Structure 1
Amino acid sequence: MASLFGSGLQALAGAVELAVSSGSILLGRAAHAQILKSVDPPPLPSFLSNHLINMYAKLDHPSPAALLLSLDPSPSVVSFTALISGAAQNRRPLLALRLFPVLLRSSARPNDFTLPSLLKASASIPCPIAGLQLHSFSLKSGLLSDPFVSSAAINMYHKTGLISHARVLFDEMPKRNIVAWNAVMTNAVLDGRLDTAMEAFIRLRSSAEVPNEVTLCASLNACAGAECLWLGSQLHSFIVRFGFVANVSVGNALIDFYGKCASVEEARRVFDAMLNKNDVSWCSVIVACAQNADEEEAFRLYLAARKEGFVPTDFMISSILTTSSGLSGVNLGRSLHAVAVRSCLDGNIFVGSALLDMYGKCGSIEEAEQVFESMPERNFVTWNAMISGYAVQGNASNALNVFDDMTSRSEVRPNYVTLLSVMSACARGGWLTEGMELFEKMEERYGIRPRMEHFACIVDLLGRAGMEEKAYEIIKKMPMKPSVSVWGALLNACRIHGKEKLGRVAAVELFEMDPYDSGNHVLLSNIFSSAGRWEESMEVRKEMNDVGIKKEPGCSWITWKNQVHVFQAKDTSHERNSEIQALLAELRRRMTAAGYTPDTRFALYELEDEEKELEVHQHSEKLALAFGLICVPEGIAVRIYKNLRVCGDCHQAIKFISGIVGREIIVRDNVRFHRFRNYECSCGDYW
């Protein structure tokens, strides 16, 4: 009879373990209720109590676990360890650490399973004092000699910033197991000490220790972070030779490595060769394509993953949303937003931030605001994306309001990207005082030293405001050598305000740094042509031809019915060209009647005035706009994208057209968004 009773309790213990493995608290509670019925009178046998404590702790129900522990008349170290381990795994480090003195006051003593969980808890706070005390206890109790305890201590020191302590402890280990090596390597990668990670891998191989999948993934992450293609390729050969190529985690790390080293073909080759793929595999290859400007292939891979039956995850959705931003496809982004809602992922902070970023980059700022307001929590990516969305629209007022909310009400501190976005918004909106104040006091207020990007932004801010000489003085006092972006901002400012002498100074610097960039030559040529100095303008163009520099052809494109229609200036190849030309002629007639005068300052000087007018009327953005007005139904904004800066005449013309046809027209050039409505542009002609 006793044996039958014992076998029944063993079966109940098995049910408890099944609840843990399946993550079902309902099954666990049902098993607990059956145990209470079967065991009368209490207390429960120790092995059943341990199983139940472990189940509640692992499934993140610490209260019933702690109650069971308190009801045990003689709790063992197994009971305490189960509760401590569960608390540490479920991000309850303070609970785990509070249990340690309770354990010491009991008759039980910590063992080599207890201390790693406690060290993990102290690392996640992070609390170096608690970690130091646990290290001391491990040393006194003789448990530090256990390689798992010492490895946990090394990991704790890395996580709490005491890297020198971790190094000393690692060097003093009599026998270093693979867990210790992995702790050193993974933490070095997380801290950005990529050379240290690779040195550790070489030392590991010299010690004859056999690496595992964690070791190889950390090594590949180090190579990816350093963009060291040749070293990672050698590691790939090692992986093949030692039989790790079939490991899914290692395969995923290889895809990520090749993607970050801009070797998309190799990444795709690894992906295609994988026999077993998980959702991380698909996400990695999608990101590899998206990061290397192959957004269309990334989206095709996403659709292939869905056909394979993979359920969208937060990482997959956030990854593919970046491709929508790259393709500037707001309708595509909205479809993915719907997928996120159906999959109950729209509340995820990473998905929400990606949605916010996508809507901002696609110019749908109202939808970005809705996502921002609905997010239950926000991190610095969220705040930065919202500020950046306003910046690209040139809406300095709203960008500064969000920045004020971030700094006054949020627990998230601004980083260098935040300040850059706010300064960019000030530059595009003409908020000189606010932008300069932020630049001058960013280190004092936020502890952030100005980087090259901040200097480029402040030069742009001053230049747009007509203060090119002051911008030049700042450039001369920079603590680092000015970059192409800094001199480019000054040259563009000189173009806007016709400062020929200073423009040539900036151009000379740019020609030395990047002699084959056509954009800088064109800017200088335009400075001269706008001032009527045609001979000097043509001289710059002649120099371009002499050294073989070709101007990047301007083009505009518009998406309609899942097809991208691309136009170049004076392009007559489109299948609906006759309709486009007829509409342009009608619009030109109505614009002229409304007071429009063509701006032909940058047209070729050898042309007659009438020819110049015809020249500007055939610019690519006007052709794309005419096609959009023909195809896009009334009530829907016409969205046009351009690879170069929109020209002055097109900007003026589209303002007139927006009022004449009563439509909203959104133009995204290589600098910012322009939203045209009722004869006005959102930039206020400050661009």
Structure 2
Amino acid sequence: MLLAPCPQQLAAGLESAIAARSPLLGRVIHGVILRFLSPSIPSFLLNHLVNLYAKLDLPIAASGVLSSHPSPSVVSWTALLSGLVQNGRFTPAIAQFSQMLRSSVAPNDFTFPCAFKAAGSAQFPSFGRQVHSLALKSGLVADVFVACAALDMYCKTRQNSDARKVFDEMPVKSIVAWNAVMTNAVLEARPLDVARAFVSLRRDGGCYPNSITLCAFLNASAGAGEACRSAGEQLHGFVFRAGFAPDVAVGNALIDFYGKCRCPDAAGQVFQGILSRNGVSWCSMITAYAQNSAEAEAFAVFLAARREGWPPSDFMISSVLTTCAGLTGVDLGRALHAVAVRSCVDGSVFVGSSLVDMYGKCGSVEEAEGMFDEMPVRNLVAWNAMIGTYAQQGLADEAVAALQAMPVAANHVSLVCAMAACSRGGLVERGLELFHSMMPNYGIAPALEHYACAVDLLGRAGREEEAYRLIKTMPMAPSPSVWGALLNACKMHSKVELGKTAAENLLMLDPTDSGNSVLFSNMLAAAGRWEEATEVREEMKLVGVRKEPGCSWVSWRNQVHVFRAKDRRHERDKEIRAELARLEMEMRAAGYKPETRWALFDLEEEEKEGEVMYHSEKLAVAFGIIWVPPPVPVRVTKNLRVCGDCHTAIKLISGIANRDIVLRDNVRFHHFSQGRCSCGDYW
């Protein structure tokens, strides 16, 4: 005869099933309970069964056990509610809480936090207020956990005045309450409120900050960027004094803070000081370098993580993929793609979106489209990456088609990318139609970025006066990007007087940006107004604004070869110049004549021809033709906009040398092949 098992042992077995996340083990024990103890199953065992099924996200089974309970107590209902909330089933949790009240079971100090969390997560502030009222009537709102849960609910549902009242009325403000105030302010992008709360916490003296408090403050400072850099640095000092330096979570938050405040070296020092790094540490460091255009350093951190045995997670892969465009490394990106496939993270929406973005920024539209088509799930980021890829290539029809095909609601980034594609592809009316239909069709009010795109659209098409009228009707003050778009258009079409107006407004807003002054000076020089151009450059020297030197580079065999105008420092300089001389001879035979208007100094005509012939992009292309074997395309990147003479010359070179040349400047990609460019001479 079999002996009935001990109920306490069965309860322990059910807890083991929860810990092991094993529904099978739980059902086996449930079967044993039914066989040996039914119909007189102890109440505490039924509570354990409800807890088992609720925690393992089997709500139907949990509700079934609860309905079979002869007299379910508050413990039974709380076990069900807790499991539903933990598994993100907030609406059913609210329904079950209401059912509990209809069953005349009064909630306790464990039930209320579950109900508050369900209301906050489901964004049901009206239900949350009813729960708060019930907690007040029952006298349990004085409990620190119930009060903190009510506070968190009001914060999450953006009922800030009610949240403040709850916080002020709390008899004892625990660190949990302070953290709730600060973390929710971080989520709502209110960095000043986070700073005020931290200062109040320190002055209050009732409790001491913990790692969550410090991370919240650092996240707020990072979100505010350089404006809150000083506050974050002061907190770094407090971290050392308070003994939080060894805490890996705080260290990771410091890395993120310094990365977003443009201090990658400081982030690196924090990273080196973390003794027990986790995966977040490595990803944060990679991202900090990538955000600050330190692509080589970011990739070096990724390699160091691999050497130390860290598996390439989806976040790590997606972070390091952003470096490939800066390194002009489509081959590097392909290698990372292979790593993602081997690590079985290529199906992640984060990795997929990053791969689409990487291939697009490296100029490989076909591979970007292939990756996009293979993604099992496409979110808004993936669609924006694909539209952005088309925009960089000037493929306006494809970008607009992708925007219209989106199964998710477009956001402001989607529209910026589509309008930029129309601008670069010459679809002026289609781009303006998108701009004017933003509010009626998408419910998005045009922001500064959209106005900048609209001005660029009109300006590229030679409609500068219309663009200027649009600027004057803007509901907000024009930004530097808006005036910059107009100035660039005036330079392209030699509208000097209007360009001077744009430049004056632009330099008032951003006098320290060398690009603005250089663009203004170049416009005057191209129009032959040398004295005024010289005055602008002299003024730049007086105020200490230094011009960013133009340079072009080619990545080949794990090396980056950088060239500047008239550069003679390359070890292969003689061969490069000989190749360029040969190409020039053949170009002239084909009818090429240097466009000396792109020589921005007042020189004799012959000197101007020599000036434009040795621009950095021509030197880089000549090097690529010599050293990059066909049929591999020659890939050149330039940090400034390609000049018109170089564009014409490279078109001819692609036909003479029978080579595909991909040039990426700071505006878009140019694919040269057989004497033609993908931009159709509209850029």
- Check whether TM > 0.5: yes
**SS at 2:137 equivalent:** helix
Counterparts in 2 of 1:344-363, with a 5 A limit? 344-363=344-363
Native 8 Å contact 1:43 1:72 kept in 2: no
CA positional deviation for 1:532: 4.5
Q: 1:28 to 1:297 in 2, by over 3 A?
A: farther
CA distance in 2 between partners of 1:358 and 1:542 (Å): 40
1:320-399 equivalences under 5 Å are 320-399=320-399
**2:88 aligns to what?**
91
Structure 1 residue 465 and structure 2 residue 461: aligned?
yes
Q: Which of 558, 561, 565 in structure 2 is aligned with 1:565?
A: 561
- Structure 1 distance, partners of 2:382, 2:414, is 10
Deviates more, 1:212-221 or 1:374-383: 374-383
Residue matched to 2:224: 226
1:362-397 CA deviation, whole Å, 9 max, x = no partner? 222222222323333333322322222211211221
In the superposition, relative to structure 1, how do residues 134 and 611 fare at CA in structure 2: closer, same or farther (>3 Å)? Answer: same
3-state SS of the aligned residue for 2:645? helix
The structural deviation recorded for 1:291 is 1.7
Aligned to 2:118: 121
Per-residue CA shift, 1:27-81, capped at 9, x if unaligned? 54555556556x3545544334333432332232323333333333333333322
CA distance in 2, matches of 1:324, 1:590: 35
SS in 2 for 1:666: strand
Letter in 2 for 1:221: N
How many Å separate the matches in 1 of 2:235 and 2:535?
53
Distance 2:524 2:242 in 1: 64
The answer as to whether partners of 2:328 and 2:555 remain within 8 angstroms in 1 is: no
- Match in the other structure for 2:158: 161
In structure 2, C-alpha distance between the alignment counterparts of 1:670 and 1:540, rounded to whole Å:
23
Label 1:652 to 1:167 Cα distance change in 2 as closer, same or farther (>3 A): same
Give the letter for the 1:508 counterpart.
Answer: E
SS where residue 50 of structure 1 aligns?
helix
Q: Say whether 1:667 aligns with 2:669.
A: no
Higher mean displacement: 465-474 or 94-103: 94-103
Stretch moving more, 655-664 or 271-280: 655-664
For residue 208 of structure 2, what is the aligned residue in structure 1? Answer: 210
Q: 1:430 aligns with which of 423, 426, 430?
A: 426
1:590 has 2:586 as partner: yes
For 1:144, what is the secondary structure of its paired residue? helix
Q: Out of 652, 656, 673, which is 1:656 matched to?
A: 652
What secondary structure sits across from 1:269 in the alignment? helix
Q: 2 CA distance for matches of 1:637 and 1:19?
A: 59
Distance 1:48 1:638, change over 3 A: farther
Matches within 5 A, 1:31-180: 31-32=29-30, 39-42=36-39, 44-106=41-103, 108-180=105-177
Quick one: which amino acid aligns to residue 194 of structure 1?
Answer: P
In structure 2, the CA distance between the partners of 1:282 and 1:597, relative to structure 1 (3 Å rule), is: same
Is contact 1:432-1:465 (8 Å) kept? yes
1:177-204 CA deviation, whole Å, 9 max, x = no partner?
2222221111111111222222222222
Q: How does 1:567-646 map to 2 (within 5 A)?
A: 567-603=563-599, 609-646=605-642
Looking at structure 2, the residues matched to 170 and 542 of structure 1 have their Cα atoms a distance apart, in angstroms, of 59
How far did residue 671 of structure 1 move? 1.2
Which secondary structure state, in structure 1, belongs to the residue aligned with residue 399 of structure 2?
A: helix
| Higher mean displacement: 240-249 or 551-560 | 240-249
CA distance in 2, matches of 1:501, 1:610: 29
* Structure 1 contact 363–393 (Cα < 8 Å) conserved: yes
Cα pair distance change 1:685/1:116, threshold 3 Å = same
Structure 2 segments unaligned to the other structure (5+ residues): none
The question of whether the paired residues in 2 share the 8 Å contact of 1:492 and 1:523 is answered with yes
Could you tell me the TM-score, scaled by structure 1's length? Answer: 0.91
User: What are the equivalent positions in structure 2 for 1:263-302 lying under 5 Å apart?
Assistant: 263-302=263-302
Give me the whole-angstrom Cα distance separating, in 2, the residues matched to 1:203 and 1:544.
46
Which residue of the partner structure matches residue 442 of structure 2?
446
Change over 3 Å in CA distance of 1:148–1:537 after alignment to 2: closer
- Residue equivalent to 1:474: 470
- Report the Cα distance in structure 1 between the residues aligned to 2:214 and 2:23, rounded to whole angstroms: 36
Distance 1:438 1:13, change over 3 A: same
**In structure 2, C-alpha distance between the alignment counterparts of 1:625 and 1:231, rounded to whole Å:** 48
CA distance in 2, matches of 1:193, 1:668: 38
2:190 is aligned to: 193
Q: Which segment drifts farther, 597-606 or 330-339? A: 597-606
Residue 419 (structure 1) aligns with: 415
Q: Normalising to structure 2: TM-score of the pair?
A: 0.92
Distance, in Å, in 1 between the alignment partners of 2:665 and 2:362 is 12
**2:650–2:672: 8 Å Cα contact kept in structure 1?**
yes
Query: Equivalent residue for 1:21?
Result: 19
Give the C-alpha shift of residue 169 in structure 1: 1.9
22-31 or 322-331, larger mean C-alpha shift? 22-31
Find the aligned partners of 1:468 and 1:476 in 2 and give their Cα distance: 13
Q: Which runs of 5+ in 1 are unaligned?
A: none
- Secondary structure of 2:140's partner? coil
Give, in whole Å, the separation in 2 of the partners of 1:677 and 1:651.
Answer: 12
Contact 2:598–2:643, Cα closer than 8 Å, also in 1: no
Mapped to 2, the partners of 1:241 and 1:519 lie a distance apart of 43
Distance (whole Å) between structure 2 residues aligned to residue 449 and residue 44 of structure 1:
62
Q: Is the 8 A contact 1:645 1:669 kept in 2?
A: yes
Deviation larger for 659-668 or 442-451: 442-451
1:518 Cα offset (Å): 4.2
Note if contact 2:598-2:644 (Cα within 8 Å) is conserved in structure 1: no
Kindly state the Cα deviation for residue 643 of structure 1 after the two structures are TM-superposed: 0.9
Asked if the contact 2:152/2:181 (under 8 Å) is kept, the reply is yes
Distance 1:198 1:612, change over 3 A: closer
C-alpha separation in 2, matches of 1:400 and 1:566 = 36
Residue 558 of structure 1: CA displacement? 0.9
Please say if residues 283 and 316 of structure 2, whose CA atoms lie closer than 8 Å, have aligned partners that are also in contact. Answer: yes
Conservation of the 8 A alpha-carbon contact between 2:660 and 2:673: yes
| Structure 2 Cα separation of the partners of residues 312 and 53 of structure 1 | 39
In the alignment, the residues of structure 1 paired with residue 81 and residue 435 of structure 2 have an alpha-carbon distance, to the nearest angstrom, of: 48
User: Aligned in 2, Cα 1:576/1:428: closer, same or farther, shift over 3 Å?
Assistant: same
Change (3 A) 1:147 1:543: closer
Deviation of 1:464 (Å): 0.8
Give, in angstroms, the shift of residue 115 of structure 1.
1.9
Q: How far has the Cα of 1:560 moved from its partner?
A: 0.9
Q: How many residues align?
A: 680
Amino acid aligned to 1:502: L
Shift of 1:26: 4.7
TM-aligned CA deviation for residue 540 of structure 1: 4.9
1:631-668, Cα deviation, whole Å (9 max, x unpaired): 32323222110011111111112212223333322111
- For residue 108 of structure 1, report the CA deviation from its aligned partner: 4.3
Partner of 1:507: 503
Deviation string 1:88-118 (CA, Å, 9 cap, x unpaired) is: 1111112212222332344643221122112
SS at 1:676's partner residue?
Answer: strand
Rounded Cα–Cα distance in structure 2 between residues aligned with 1:269 and 1:535: 49
Compared with structure 1, are the counterparts of its residues 543 and 129 closer, same or farther at alpha carbon in structure 2 (3 Å cutoff)? Answer: closer
8 Å Cα contact 1:54-1:86 kept in structure 2:
yes
Structure 2 SS opposite 1:601: helix
Maintained 8 Å contact 2:521/2:536: yes
Give the drift of 1:539. 5.6
Cα distance between partner residues in 1 of 2:521 and 2:64 = 80
Q: Which amino acid aligns with 2:673?
A: R
Q: 644-653 vs 163-172, which deviates more?
A: 163-172
Any conservation in 2 of the 1:127–1:160 contact (CA below 8 Å)? yes
Deviation at 1:619, TM superposition (A): 1.9
